[in-house]
């Protein structure tokens, strides 16, 4: 079996036509395959996020992860870039959508693309994955414990996030949601509210909430890591993409 | 969770980073995921000089308990300093 893959830093067209950095990994054979846009978490375009890119490529997907902080901090280390972006108020929603659209365009332009693209994000990226899926034509979306899809952020918060559950009728694709039952952001009530909105809009979705897990249970390099939830979650993600991106 | 909670302040002073001392003009204070400290969330302070680029930054990530101890220590020192020493 030929299983070579290439992982590299590239430039893609982002929001408003700006070229931004992205990290890509893709199998090198010519078999048609789906693509995945990975949205990095708020701490940035870091090693852990790049490992996620590698994992999807290992499982047969073309993958790209836009550097959401490229405009504020080109070439900076991921933690400095994240700090700079935070100090400037974070990533505006319209810019996020434009950058994911650029990633989607890149994936669909690859010679071994089957024309299907999914999106996934963790933590702040979970909300942004949902945001992309209600804003762009996609084939599958995964929201891993994204806060503030439902629920209003604390008053006075300077970052540019707000609830987007009202956009559920515009969801363009099936949604997989993975949550920790002990998480308060999103809380089980907020997950239930999102589920209700999906039901009312007649959308295809699959939700799993893991007992004994809180926020960020996929993070292998953080104390929040929960091996059973993370292992089952990965199986759910790969099965979901297997259904909708093949 | 990513708390998003951030207090941004203008500050005046200097900090020593990887390239030596530099003048800092901005500060960010937030309680969120750390990059390095072994906690789910920490009190993070960035001392910044945005005009010199993203790497002009001195960062600390403190446990909540440590951060409160630091606050008390700063207040105690400032309160006991003789007046007029600016």
Sign of the C-alpha dihedral computed for residues B5, A183, A77 and A117 taken in this order: negative
pLDDT at A156: 58
Of B26, B33, B54, the CB nearest to A43: B33
Distance, in Å, from the CA atom of A122 to the CA atom of A105, rounded to the nearest integer, reads 22
Q: How confident is the model at residue A29, as a pLDDT?
A: 93
Contact A180, A208 (CB under 8 A): no
Q: What are the chain B neighbours of A86 within 8 Å (beta carbons)? A: 6, 28, 30, 46
Q: Inform me whether the pLDDT recorded for B2 exceeds 70.
A: no
Are residues B53 and A76, on separate chains, in Cβ contact within 8 Å? yes
Which ipTM did the prediction report? 0.77
* Contact assignment for B32 to A42 by CB distance below 8 Å: yes
- At B1 the pLDDT is 54
Domains of chain A (ranges plus CATH)?
5-244 (3.40.50.1820)
The answer on pLDDT for B85 being more than 80 is: no
Contact list, B4 vs chain A (CB under 8 Å): 42, 90, 124, 148, 153, 157, 159, 161
Instruction: Calculate the CA dihedral of residues B60, B65, B69, B70 and round it to 10 degrees.
Output: 10
Mutual orientation of helices A93-108 and A124-133 as an angle, nearest 10°? 70
Tokens of A69: 């902080």
With a cut of 50, which residues of chain A have pLDDT below it? none
Distance of CA B77 to the CA centre of its chain: 17
Look at residue A221 in the predicted model and tell me its pLDDT. Answer: 87
**What is the reported pTM?**
0.90
Percent of chain A having pLDDT more than 90?
86
Closest CA to A146 of A127, A121, A165: A127
CA distance B44 to B60: 6
Query: Chain B: nearest CA to A56, how far in angstroms?
Result: 23
pLDDT of residue A154: 65
CB contact under 8 A, B4 and A73: no
Q: Judge: B40–A153 Cβ closer than 8 Å, yes or no.
A: no
Q: Count of CB atoms within 10 A of residue A29's CB?
A: 13
Q: For residue A97, how many other CB atoms are within 10 A of its CB? A: 17
């Amino acid at each position: 079996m030929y299983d070579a893959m290439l992982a590299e830093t590239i430039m893609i067209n982002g929001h408003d036509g700006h070229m931004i950095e992205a990290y890509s990994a893709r199998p090198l054979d010519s078999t048609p395959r789906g693509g995945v846009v990975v949205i990095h978490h708020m701490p940035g375009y870091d090693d852990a996020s790049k490992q996620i890119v590698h994992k999807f490529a290992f499982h047969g997907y073309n993958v790209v992860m836009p550097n959401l902080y490229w405009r504020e901090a080109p070439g900076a280390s991921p933690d400095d870039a994240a700090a700079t972006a935070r100090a400037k108020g974070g990533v505006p929603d319209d810019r996020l959508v434009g950058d994911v659209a650029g990633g989607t365009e890149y994936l669909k332009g690859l010679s071994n693309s089957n024309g299907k693209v999914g999106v996934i994000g963790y933590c702040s990226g979970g909300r942004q994955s949902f945001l992309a899926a209600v804003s762009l034509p996609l084939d599958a979306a995964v929201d891993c414990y994204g806060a503030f899809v439902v629920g209003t952020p604390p008053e006075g918060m300077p970052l540019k996030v707000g609830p987007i559950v009202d956009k559920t009728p515009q969801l363009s694709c099936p949604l997989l949601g993975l949550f920790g039952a002990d998480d308060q952001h999103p809380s089980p009530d907020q997950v239930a509210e999102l589920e209700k909105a999906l039901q009312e809009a007649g959308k295809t979705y699959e939700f799993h909430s893991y007992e004994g897990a809180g926020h960020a249970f996929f993070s292998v390099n953080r104390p929040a890591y929960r091996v059973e939830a993370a292992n089952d979650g990965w199986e759910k993600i790969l099965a979901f993409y297997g259904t909708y991106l093949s | 969770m990513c708390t998003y909670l951030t207090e941004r302040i203008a500050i005046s002073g200097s900090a020593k980073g990887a390239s030596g001392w530099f003048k800092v003009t901005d500060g960010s204070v937030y309680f969120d995921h750390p990059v390095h400290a072994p906690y789910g969330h920490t009190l993070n302070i960035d001392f910044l000089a945005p005009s010199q680029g993203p790497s002009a930054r001195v960062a600390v990530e403190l446990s909540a308990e440590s951060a409160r101890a630091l606050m008390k220590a700063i207040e105690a020192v400032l309160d006991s300093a003789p007046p007029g020493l600016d």
